[in-house]
Amino acid sequence: NAGVTQTPKFRILKIGQSMTLQCTQDMNHNYMYWYRQDPGMGLKLIYYSVGAGITDKGEVPNGYNVSRSTTEDFPLRLELAAPSQTSVYFCASSYLGTSISYEQYFGPGTRLTVT
Amino acid sequence: QQQVKQSPQSLIVQKGGISIINCAYENTAFDYFPWYQQFPGKGPALLIAIRPDVSEKKEGRFTISFNKSAKQFSLHIMDSQPGDSATYFCAASIGGGADGLTFGKGTHLIIQP
């Protein structure tokens, strides 16, 4: 199993550009999440999904959009990139159901710089 | 509003010593309290977690102590090793993290040889 994979690893965007951060998991997890990590600030939830076709906002959703057409994929879309979106973005997944483990598995992250 | 407060921000411990990181939460609906470990350039990885029906959980050298009445929990790393040098995050959630985890700001731990 590859676990949670994210692409790209690094990206530099100009202000106003758009891009999609890709996230794929091969663990058949039903829940998926996007977090951003800023220095000294911990991780903050952007969006999450409880299954294909269902998404919901987290703590910091402004400037982002998500979709979940399959169980495996959960892309994050940035429209009109702003310097405030410079951050490291982590995708995570978990299985919530009959399992007693609530562990969220994180991908390696995408480091995004907006200039 | 910071729902999970973590301290200290940074910590230096000698090899073999005990590392202690503290967290306090506000939302009494939280029912799952994990600790994540993150190495530079990597994603966080679950270290140990506890639910509020127990006061302590131990896994190897790592122990979580939980005080429900004080709304506090802490991570103790016994016999700290240089390989434990990393950033540690406490977190809290409702329903096992179904709607995401609320993280503390992190503690940068350095274990000096």
**For the residues of chain B, what is the DSSP string, one character each?**
--SEEEE-SEEEEETTS-EEEEEEE--TT--BEEEEEE-TTS--EEEEEE-TT-SEEEETTEEEEEETTTTEEEEEESS--GGG-EEEEEEEBSGGGTT-PEE---EEEEEE-
A58 CB-contact burial (10 Å; exposed 0-12 / middle 13-18 / buried 19+): buried
pLDDT at B97 over 90: no
Q: Is A48 on the interface with B (CB under 8 A)?
A: yes
Q: Is B104 on the interface with A (CB under 8 A)?
A: yes
Contacts of B102 in chain A (CB under 8 A): 45, 59
pLDDT at B1 over 70: no
Tell me whether residues B98 and A50 touch, CB distance under 8 A.
yes
* Residues A36/A60, Cβ–Cβ less than 8 Å: yes
> CA–CA separation, B110 vs B42, rounded Å?
17
Tell me whether residues B99 and A48 touch, CB distance under 8 A.
yes
Q: Quickly tell me which residue has 């103790």 as its tokens.
A: B76
A62-115 pLDDT, tens digit each: 999 999 999 999 999 999 999 999 999 999 999 877 666 688 999 999 999 999
* Residues B60/B33, Cβ–Cβ less than 8 Å: no
B59-88 pLDDT, tens digit each: 999 999 999 999 999 999 999 999 999 999
Which two tokens mark B7?
Answer: 């301290």
